[in-house]
């Protein structure tokens, strides 16, 4: 009911794109310094699936899921294969999984393969999230090959051959919310049902396994009362999920496909598909090009994860009555999210001494200022550590220049607010909104219409806006917020004995909570394009960079383009590989990055 035995399908000429030594160390593996080439060849052989590790019993996991709000019925590992479990050097249990290793019983009409671009993104982001301190599945290796599959990248009728690639994923478990939905009776909306309806005996086995293995302290505390044990487990996964999504929000991470089958039963970030780190702050940012309704937008992630927990609660009945789990969800989730989010934001702002009620408003006003000025989320937080209460006027002007340089230019804003609908299409949708809302629902939403009307309005205003006007407006907004921030920092100073020691600690805390480097889409794209041309060095460079997100990377040339060159690149909206490579790893994205679409 839960697993089907499988065998990986061999690939032609597998070769290593990159390996993460910190992730492989979890398994007790290390690359011998004496012969790295032999280690790479061995990794490619075993982690492509061409040779199965001794003792491995490959299997594909069966699960269901609510996808974009509707129950989809049976899904399962359509391209991933569980190899087995390893007891690591520290006594920890780690599951190994190959993603992209071939057809499984759950592949449906697909081929069970993954390609180079999606595999590089998952490999890099898994490790980036770990080094940011966010709970996540890990990635040990990325192996590509000469085997190819046909993919229509943008679903626009232009298919092409792409290289089959496999990622070694590592986690304590890959069991997810959807694993418990295999028992679901026919859904009232879709009519679909899970493949193991009425098999409560298996649900009990799964709960016993998950709780005793991954929540042993709960198993021990409630060994004589199953309902209390299950309630304690549900409370803990509720809290972990709330804290996880709070961490996402604080680094601007958007998952992209928060279906119930992509939610970990132990509170990890899992299944990296059309994810994206937000560049310009936009609370309604949608990273997934195929999320037409914006269901999984950045600002909706907390409520969606709560909704998914509600679906998990339904899947645990009758072993945990719904009246108990729903009460836990209402009492725990929002409170845990708000508490963890504010704690993290205080660290990002260097508010290390006092916890004041007004802090929540200060954070909201900061984000509103970022939104008004189209500021770069990561870089503005990173810059704030160089602001001080007693900064002299000339240095304050320099700081303001640095801050506003991280806000979108007029040219960038014109791309952001460029109308996307044909005027005739918009006219038709406006008419349908009035006369036939049911028909409109089949082709779009009122939210889509409102978004387009906003783009038209903003685009019109931008035609009249000069660069000087924009800079002046942005400086005014930032001055207003920085004065509030200065007043709040002053309260910190007044509560401590040694202001210098406090400031040193403040900067240290800020610099360990505000990353300098994140996996921006354009950085991943440059690495992917190089790898597709046979050069894996950029993937490896970026991996090393992301292993140290909070500090200046040694050995990396940070080339800063001057404003003129940047402007020229911007107007072109495309850019040659040469000018792309000049882009600094920590700079706000070049204009061509806005054309990137991940589905």
Active site members: 261
Q: What is the DSSP letter of 571?
A: H
Rounded distance, CA 309 to CA 10, Å? 38
Rounded distance, CA 261 to CA 271, Å? 9
Positive or negative, the CA dihedral 265, 266, 268, 271 is negative
Task: Decide if 80 contacts 99 (C-beta within 8 A).
Answer: yes
- Residue 29: CB atoms within 10 A of its CB come to 19
Any residues with CB less than 8 A from the CB of 220 and at least 6 apart, and which? none
Helix (H) or strand (E) holding 228: helix 226-251
Q: Can you read off the two tokens belonging to residue 263?
A: 């939610």
DSSP string for 78-108 = SSEEEEEEEE-TTS-EEEEEEET----TT-T
Positive or negative, the CA dihedral 154, 159, 162, 164 is positive
74: three-class secondary structure by DSSP: strand
271: three-class secondary structure by DSSP: coil
Rounded distance, CA 471 to CA 373, Å? 9
Strand 64-67 relative to strand 70-74: parallel, antiparallel, unpaired? Answer: antiparallel
Q: Can you read off the two tokens belonging to residue 568?
A: 């020229």
Helix (H) or strand (E) holding 470: helix 467-494
Positive or negative, the CA dihedral 563, 566, 567, 568 is positive
Q: Can you read off the two tokens belonging to residue 566?
A: 């940047």
Burial environment of residue 116 by CB neighbours within 10 A (0 to 12, 13 to 18, 19 or more): buried
Query: Which residue in the block uniquely carries the two structure tokens 């936009």?
Result: 282
Rounded distance, CA 124 to CA 131, Å? 11
DSSP string for 392-430 = -HHHHHHHHHHHHTTBPPHHHHHHHT---S-HHHHHHHH
Nearest to 111 by CA among 119, 102, 99: 102
Burial environment of residue 65 by CB neighbours within 10 A (0 to 12, 13 to 18, 19 or more): buried
Q: Can you read off the two tokens belonging to residue 315?
A: 């899947």
CA 276 to each of CA 132, 138, 202, 291: distance values in angstroms, whole numbers, following the listed order: 15, 17, 37, 13
∠ Cα 581 583 588 (to 5°) = 150
């Amino acid at each position: 009911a839960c697993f089907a035995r499988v065998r990986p399908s061999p690939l032609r000429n597998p070769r290593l794109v990159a390996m993460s030594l910190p992730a492989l160390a979890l398994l007790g593996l290390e690359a011998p310094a004496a012969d790295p080439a032999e280690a790479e060849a061995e990794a490619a052989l075993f982690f492509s699936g061409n040779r199965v590790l001794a003792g491995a019993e490959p299997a594909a996991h069966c699960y269901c899921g609510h996808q974009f709000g509707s129950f989809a019925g049976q899904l399962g590992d359509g391209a991933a294969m569980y190899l087995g479990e390893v007891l690591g050097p520290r006594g920890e249990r780690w599951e190994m999984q190959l993603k992209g290793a071939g057809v499984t019983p759950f592949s449906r009409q697909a081929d069970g393969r993954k390609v180079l671009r999606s595999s590089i993104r998952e490999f890099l982001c898994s490790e980036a999230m770990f080094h940011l301190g966010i709970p996540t599945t890990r990635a040990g290796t990325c192996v590509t090959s000469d085997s190819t599959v046909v993919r229509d990248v943008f679903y626009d009728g232009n298919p092409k051959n792409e290289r089959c690639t496999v990622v070694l994923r590592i986690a304590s478990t890959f069991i997810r919310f959807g694993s418990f939905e295999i028992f679901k009776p026919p859904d009232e909306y879709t009519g679909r049902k899970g493949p193991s309806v009425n098999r409560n005996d298996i649900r009990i086995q799964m709960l016993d396994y998950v709780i005793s293995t991954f929540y042993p302290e709960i198993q021990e505390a409630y060994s004589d009362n199953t309902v209390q044990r299950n309630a304690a487990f549900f409370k803990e996964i509720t809290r972990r999920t709330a804290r996880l999504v709070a961490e996402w929000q604080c680094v601007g991470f958007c998952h992209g496909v928060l279906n119930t089958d992509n939610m970990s039963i132990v509170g990890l970030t899992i299944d990296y598909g059309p994810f994206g780190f937000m560049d310009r702050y936009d609370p309604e940012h949608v990273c997934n090009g195929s999320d037409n309704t914006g269901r999984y937008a950045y600002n909706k992630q907390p409520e969606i994860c709560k909704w998914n927990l509600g679906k998990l609660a339904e899947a645990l009945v009758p072993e945990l009555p719904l009246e108990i789990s729903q009460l836990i969800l209402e009492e725990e989730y929002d409170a845990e999210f708000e508490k963890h989010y504010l704690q993290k934001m205080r660290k990002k702002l260097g508010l290390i001494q006092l916890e004041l009620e007004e802090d929540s408003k200060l954070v909201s006003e900061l984000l509103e200022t970022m939104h008004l000025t189209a500021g770069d989320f990561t870089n503005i937080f990173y810059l704030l550590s160089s602001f001080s209460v007693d900064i002299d006027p000339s240095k304050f002007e320099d700081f303001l220049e640095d801050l506003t340089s991280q806000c979108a230019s007029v040219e960038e804003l014109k791309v952001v607010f460029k109308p996307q609908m044909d005027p005739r299409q918009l006219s038709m949708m406006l008419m349908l909104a009035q006369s036939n809302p049911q028909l409109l629902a089949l082709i779009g939403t009122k939210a889509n219409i409102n978004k387009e009307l906003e783009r038209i309005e903003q685009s019109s205003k931008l035609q009249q806006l000069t660069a000087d006007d924009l800079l002046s407006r942005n400086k005014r907004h930032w001055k207003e917020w920085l004065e509030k921030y200065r007043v709040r920092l002053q309260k910190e100073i007044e509560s401590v004995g040694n202001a210098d020691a406090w400031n040193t600690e403040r900067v240290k805390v800020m610099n360990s909570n505000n990353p300098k480097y994140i996996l921006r889409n354009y950085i991943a794209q440059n690495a992917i394009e190089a790898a597709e041309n046979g050069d894996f060095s950029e993937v490896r460079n970026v991996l090393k960079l992301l292993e140290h997100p909070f500090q200046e990377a040694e050995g990396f040339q940070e080339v800063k383009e001057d404003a003129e060159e940047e402007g020229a690149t911007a107007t072109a909206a495309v850019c040659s590989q040469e000018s792309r490579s000049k882009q600094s790893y920590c700079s706000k994205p070049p204009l061509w990055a806005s054309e990137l679409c991940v589905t």
